[in-house]
Amino acid sequence: MANEERRYGTLLQQRYFERFGTRPCSVTEEDIRDFIEVSRLESGEIFSVSQLKASRSPRELALEVALSCEQSAQHYYSRLNQITEDAELRALYRELADFETNHADFLQKKMDDARRTSSDSKLQ
């Protein structure tokens, strides 16, 4: 997934240069903070012993966090697609939403596999 993210980041940068040239982006993280639902990982509690005792492995917890982030990004791009009037940007936002949906599907399968493996090992 990391390689795919890097490849896609390069593609997005190329599209930016095609549309805006070398003009710097004036949008900051502060400008979009209200639009993005960011998963906060400010403490190590997510991997605490109490969480692990809830029958989830550290791998399952990590996959849950990653899945939440992908779903949040998918929701963000879908909302942008709905409110954007520029057809070219709408197409880009649809593509990005699909990209994030594919990541979420991939992570969901990994979570299902991790849960199945965890359940199988508890039965033995």
Map 82-96 to HEC letters. Answer: HHCCCHHHHHHHHHH
What is the per-residue pLDDT for 53?
52
Kindly report the pTM of this predicted structure.
Answer: 0.72
Reduced 3-state DSSP string for 97-116: HHHHHHHHHHHHHHHHHHHH
- Summarize pLDDT for 71-105 with one digit per residue, the tens: 988 998 999 999 999 999 899 999 999 999 999 99
Q: What is the average pLDDT across 17-33?
A: 83
Q: Within a 13 Å sphere around the CA of 1, how many CA atoms are in the beta-carbon half?
A: 14
Three-state DSSP state, 1: coil
**How many residues are listed for the chain in this entry?**
124
